Amino acid sequence: MTNRIDYTKVAPEGYKAFGAVYATLSKGSLPKDLIDLAYLRVSLINGCAFCIDMHSRDLLKSGLTVEKLVLVPVWHDAGNVFTARERAALAWAETVTRVSETGVPDAAYDAAAAEFTDTELADLTYAIGLMNAFNRFGVSFRSTPAATATARA
């Protein structure tokens, strides 16, 4: 994989604006681990190697077990490995990321709203939207995952 352009350098103001949203979310209403799980699920759906690598590493550093990490793509079938809030966040991440397919049905909203306060649900949706945007940059410009850079060295 070869970087096409480094969008963070050629258009730094947009990147800084996204970074400000990222920083705001890290101080928001939801735990970082829950947001990182949503970031990872969104990135898996979108196929962004850079973000999958980054958020997997972040989750492992924060103490998530490898056993739980590898089940994120199939969380529906993982039983009680994920908490109710984690399952609700993952489900919401999926339906919002696939908005053109799902239309975000009332049942999905009701399930998420039953688990999160209005502020938490808004913050989670900001996080999902932000990661979808970052994934589009990562995939479009072929951002190199850290694992790839390490393997080259």
Band the pLDDT of 41: cuts 50, 70, 90.
very high
The pLDDT tens digits of the residues spanning 86-140 come to 999 999 999 999 999 999 999 999 999 999 999 999 999 999 999 999 999 999 9
The pLDDT tens digits of the residues spanning 15-34 come to 999 999 999 999 999 999 99
72/81 Cα distance (integer angstroms): 10
100/69 Cα distance (integer angstroms): 27
Q: Position of tokens 């209005």?
A: 118
Domain boundaries, the chain: 31-146
Q: Find, among 58, 65, 61, 23, the residue nearest to 43 by Cα.
A: 58
Domain 31-146 has CATH 1.10.3720.10: no
pLDDT mean across residues, the chain: 95
Predicted pLDDT of residue 101: 98
The pLDDT tens digits of the residues spanning 2-13 come to 779 999 999 999
Residues 31-50, mean pLDDT to the nearest whole number: 97
Q: What is the 3-state secondary structure (H, E, C) of the chain?
A: CCCCCCHHHHCHHHHHHHHHHHHHHHCCCCCHHHHHHHHHHHHHHHCCHHHHHHHHHHHHHCCCCHHHHCCHHHHHHCHHHCCHHHHHHHHHHHHHHCHHHHCCCHHHHHHHHHHCCHHHHHHHHHHHHHHHHHHHHHHHCCCCCHHHHHHHC
35/130 Cα distance (integer angstroms): 11
